Structure 1
């Protein structure tokens, strides 16, 4: 079968920029007097490696308690606008119109929309009435890699058709003022908003091709990462230490995935990893026996944007593409499940 190839890749973030130092100051005001031993936990903000992040709402909006109706209104307004922006950029870079898109895959886990986001932007985008729509929810931080895997298989199944992948996450809308938990403090220190879009096509070449895809789901790990749901909205679940999990579990899982791809770790010239946070990046380098500092694009993206969940690894891919990929790369992300999702990329010779 023809391999799916990347035709274009675009990224976008909302207009509102939050400096990490300002987030830390606000967090002290919000949590300092209410969270036991907060002074010790406040160091999280300075240890993330983040300089700034972006949010779909102005900074002060997040300092007032919000419930489901307000969060959902903000999600729909912000997600639709960001969707149109990033998809439009990817289509323009690919030299096609929305009417040329045959399948659109939309990945999002930070808001609920029914009709789905692709339907809500359908008229404004200019999609055809017969476009195939594939909305995907619940993949969390793994969504960029899993979404690319899904979109590539759909492109491969119908050579010559255009598949548009849009990953969009408004993580900031899930930040909570009421939850006095370590997980919420970590989330407040890490997450930002962003979107990425890719056009894929199979059958007519392309410099960067999807060679293979794979996933690994660890049993009995539902408590590692996810959402809780209550009348105020989503609440983050982080009940195990992800860096420690990565240190012990990532390499064996990747080896199993690569074996199914008929590859090995030695075949990979570049790892493109969802960063999670600074400690996760260090843990990945250690687990894969990479020299410290190897995951440079990962550190740069987390510094500039924070953890945007699903789109983050595609921001990193964009930088890696600009610098030039080796013969074979492995894009990988971890997310709820607990799951590792991988995409092997091959540079056409």
Structure 2
């Protein structure tokens, strides 16, 4: 019987610029109030988002000029490759490994288009072997960190002895726009930040957590809840249905079903580690799972300091919980386009 995959190391890499929420509010008020009727009624979303600051790919002034696909893509490639390299190096250093030790690279990113993909562009700088397998993944959105980690764990388990590197990079702020404003664009401006995270996985005795199981649940007829639309000027965010009430109503049943297939129940989970899509989403998760109000402390802390970075955010929360000390069993969860719940059942290393 093959050994389970373990997370040997985890590291994060922040985007190079910091945007304070009060500064974003003032800029948004200046730019949007004359262009979007009823903008003042949308202002509370900046206060209720639970965000103090977030990091961004570009400085504030870059966002004040209308940008098209070529400019957004150049910014994505310039910044995302650097963040990929920083996150990967940090995770490999923590695992006491070199890039040449990596056998498979899983790259998750849905906020820009790169062909060749990011791991190919970073290969020479990092020193990946020419025979390292490359697995770029696009389209997972906010669930990408958890789904990518699940995929990496399956690859590690299927190839005992192989070193699998997962790198997740998202530059959500590059979708900020001043033209063709919608309510969803304003919500995105209040919530989104940029970030990267990397994990090293392999089978064996090393590591801080063992991947006990992975699972997904996709609800039918929910394609309109979350995603990207392809506009002439770049990617535009889709929030056509409110996520918090959907999570409050539907999350529990899906998680109970997932755990039941693993011969587990809600009481067998010592800590739910969740992607914090926003403060209202965190509140909805606590309500749906009957968790003590306020118990998702790390989720709120990451949201406050980094915003919603899409896919890397759940890994930021996991890293914070790792530093605090994981309990025996955790369930890592994220909701993303599809509309899909992605989960990993983790056991703390003995």
Q: CA deviation at 1:152?
A: 0.3
1:204 aligned to 2:215?
no
Residue of structure 1 in register with 2:23 after alignment: 22
1:128-277 alignment, distance < 5 Å: 128-277=129-278
1:342 aligned to 2:343?
yes
Report if the CA contact (8 A) 2:8-2:206 is conserved.
no
Residue of structure 1 in register with 2:41 after alignment: 40
1:93 aligned to 2:90?
no
CA–CA separation in structure 2 for the residues paired with 1:170 and 1:205: 32
Farther off after superposition, 28-37 or 110-119? 28-37
CA–CA separation in structure 1 for the residues paired with 2:55 and 2:206: 36
Residue of structure 2 in register with 1:316 after alignment: 317
CA–CA separation in structure 2 for the residues paired with 1:98 and 1:237: 37
SS at the partner of 1:57? coil
Report if the CA contact (8 A) 1:4-1:209 is conserved.
yes
Q: CA deviation at 1:205?
A: 4.3
CA–CA separation in structure 2 for the residues paired with 1:327 and 1:233: 44
CA–CA separation in structure 1 for the residues paired with 2:105 and 2:239: 31
Report if the CA contact (8 A) 1:155-1:162 is conserved.
yes
1:50-89 alignment, distance < 5 Å: 50-89=51-90
CA–CA separation in structure 1 for the residues paired with 2:272 and 2:161: 29
TM-score, structure 1 normalization = 0.99
SS at the partner of 2:124? helix
SS at the partner of 1:115? coil
**Count of residue correspondences:** 349
SS at the partner of 1:178? coil
Report if the CA contact (8 A) 1:32-1:39 is conserved.
yes
CA–CA separation in structure 2 for the residues paired with 1:47 and 1:324: 30
Deviations 1:62-116 (A, max 9, x none): 1110000000000000000111111000011100000000000000000001111
TM-score, structure 2 normalization = 0.98
CA–CA separation in structure 2 for the residues paired with 1:206 and 1:40: 49
Residue of structure 2 in register with 1:31 after alignment: 32
CA–CA separation in structure 2 for the residues paired with 1:330 and 1:63: 40
Report if the CA contact (8 A) 1:213-1:261 is conserved.
no
Report if the CA contact (8 A) 2:54-2:193 is conserved.
yes
Q: RMSD between aligned alpha carbons? A: 0.8
1:287-306 alignment, distance < 5 Å: 287-306=288-307
SS at the partner of 1:229? strand
Deviations 1:103-133 (A, max 9, x none): 0000000000111111111111100000011
CA–CA separation in structure 1 for the residues paired with 2:295 and 2:188: 25
SS at the partner of 2:256? helix
CA–CA separation in structure 1 for the residues paired with 2:140 and 2:220: 16
Gaps of 5+ in 1: none
Residue of structure 2 in register with 1:331 after alignment: 332
Report if the CA contact (8 A) 1:160-1:204 is conserved.
no
Deviations 1:262-297 (A, max 9, x none): 211111000000010000000000000011110000
CA–CA separation in structure 1 for the residues paired with 2:46 and 2:299: 18
SS at the partner of 2:79? helix
CA–CA separation in structure 2 for the residues paired with 1:117 and 1:246: 32
